[in-house]
């Protein structure tokens, strides 16, 4: 396991705060109320471990499959439905939504190889990630991939806690399946808009693994 580069600054700040809090705690409380001092230490240690684990990149064997659309994120499938596209596309699409809890790995990966033909950031609200309108009203970043004349759209969506979306892709860029597309800090959601002819391989409640689980075939 390694630590993602997006976590270096956050982990450094949290480590300093951990040291300062416990220095004051042990200096002022350890002799008079040692139990409180130990509670503060354990609570701060647990929070620091959580922050470090949030930015983890676990070792995995990624799936490389030409006819597959892979999960761009870890999480839980919360929606599979036919929708009217409201960005880039003007037709109807299959939407697959993956909810990411704060405990999930938050690296986002390219679901397919191909060309990035669209990449756009949208300011917005911070509704809870499972809210039906979060897909269209929350802060988000949308990317369209084109492969062999077919296109899919992936939305990174901020939630009530996640308020920083990072995306590394630019239009015209050629990308490889499972390579990093971005990162979302602290719990959120990723939507895929697929062609109607795509054969969805997951169901609501499934827990896909980013870069490993096949979401659909095309």
Tens-digit pLDDT profile for residues 24-61: 888 888 778 888 889 999 999 999 998 898 888 889 99
| Rounded Cα gap, residues 211 and 178, in angstroms | 5
Chain segment 127-176, per-residue pLDDT in tens = 655 555 556 567 889 999 999 999 999 999 986 655 578 899 999 999 99
Dihedrals phi, psi of 8, to nearest 5 degrees: -55, -50
Shortest CA distance to 169 belongs to which of 112, 104, 110?
Answer: 110
pLDDT at 106: 86
Question: What's the mean per-residue pLDDT of the chain?
Answer: 89
Which residue do the tokens 């917005």 mark?
A: 124
Burial of 132 (0-12, 13-18, 19+ CB in 10 A): exposed
Rounded mean pLDDT, 78-91? 93
Could you tell me the pTM of the whole model? Answer: 0.83
Sorted by sequence, the CB contacts under 8 Å of residue 139 that are 6+ apart come out as 122, 123, 124, 125, 126, 157, 158, 163, 165
Residue percentage of the chain with pLDDT more than 90: 63
Rounded mean pLDDT, 17-22? 92
Strands (E), 58-209: 68-70, 76-84, 92-100, 107-109, 114-122, 140-147, 150-157, 165-167, 174-175, 180-184, 188-194, 199-200
* Tokens (6 digits) for 140: 């988000």
| Res 186 pLDDT > 80 | no
Q: Hey, how many other C-beta atoms are within 10 angstroms of the C-beta on 38?
A: 14
pLDDT at 91: 93
| Res 192 pLDDT > 60 | yes
Per-residue confidence at 195, pLDDT binned at 50, 70, 90?
Answer: very high
Concerning whether 188 is annotated as a catalytic residue, the answer is: yes
* Tokens (6 digits) for 198: 């795509």
């Amino acid at each position: 396991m390694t630590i993602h580069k997006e976590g270096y600054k956050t982990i450094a700040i949290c480590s300093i705060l951990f040291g300062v809090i416990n220095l004051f705690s042990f200096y002022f409380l350890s002799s008079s109320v040692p139990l409180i001092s130990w509670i503060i230490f354990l609570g701060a240690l647990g929070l620091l471990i959580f922050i470090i684990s949030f930015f983890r990149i676990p070792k995995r064997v990624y799936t490389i499959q030409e006819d597959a659309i892979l999960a761009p994120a870890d999480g839980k499938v919360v929606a599979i439905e036919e929708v009217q596209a409201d960005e880039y596309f003007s037709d109807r699409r299959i939407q697959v939504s993956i909810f990411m809890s704060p405990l999930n790995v938050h690296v986002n990966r390219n679901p397919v190889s191909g060309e990035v033909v669209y990449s756009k950031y949208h300011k917005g609200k911070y509704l809870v990630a499972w809210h039906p309108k979060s897909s269209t009203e929350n802060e988000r970043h949308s990317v369209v991939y084109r492969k062999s004349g077919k296109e899919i759209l992936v939305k990174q969506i901020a939630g009530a806690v996640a308020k920083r979306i990072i995306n590394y892709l630019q239009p015209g860029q050629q990308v490889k399946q499972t390579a990093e597309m971005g990162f979302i800090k602290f719990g959120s959601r990723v939507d895929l808009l697929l062609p109607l002819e795509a054969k969805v391989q997951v169901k609501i409640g499934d827990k896909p693994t980013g870069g490993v689980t096949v979401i659909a075939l095309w």
